[in-house]
């Protein structure tokens, strides 16, 4: 029994012959290079978008942390808290001769 050639094989052979033909080869290489460059640039753009998103998240976390630290400093520097420190460490208010104003 004779084996029949697959029709796809003949098409593939003709396609390969066409693509690597000396007249079509420059177009094939140009198209291939452009396709690879497009994919590379697109991937780099997506990678940079992820990095930008991570940096923006870090900035937001730093802003929130800064607000928390300012609130903590305000609590520590409140008048009632300073009075507690004065009582605990036996501190007194400075006299007028102890205050120096720097212009």
In terms of DSSP H, where are the helices of 1-103? 7-19, 25-76, 79-88
Could you tell me which residues come within 8 angstroms of residue 19 by beta carbon, excluding any fewer than 6 positions away?
Answer: 25, 28
Query: What pTM was estimated for this model as a whole?
Result: 0.55
At 5 the pLDDT is 55
* pLDDT over 90 at 56, yes or no: yes
* pLDDT classification of 46: cutoffs 50, 70, 90: very high
The residue ranking higher by pLDDT, 36 or 13, is 36
The residue ranking higher by pLDDT, 61 or 82, is 61
At 1 the pLDDT is 47
The residue ranking higher by pLDDT, 5 or 40, is 40
Structure tokens at 83: 């009075």
């Amino acid at each position: 029994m004779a084996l029949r050639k697959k029709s796809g094989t003949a098409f593939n052979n003709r396609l390969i012959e066409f693509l690597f033909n000396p007249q079509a080869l420059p177009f094939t290489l140009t198209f291939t290079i452009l396709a690879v460059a497009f994919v590379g640039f697109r991937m780099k753009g997506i990678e940079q978008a992820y990095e930008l998103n991570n940096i923006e998240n870090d900035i937001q976390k730093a802003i929130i942390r800064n607000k928390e630290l300012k609130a903590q400093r305000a609590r520590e520097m409140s008048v009632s808290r300073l009075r507690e420190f004065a009582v605990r460490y036996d501190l007194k208010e400075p006299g007028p001769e102890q205050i120096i104003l720097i212009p």
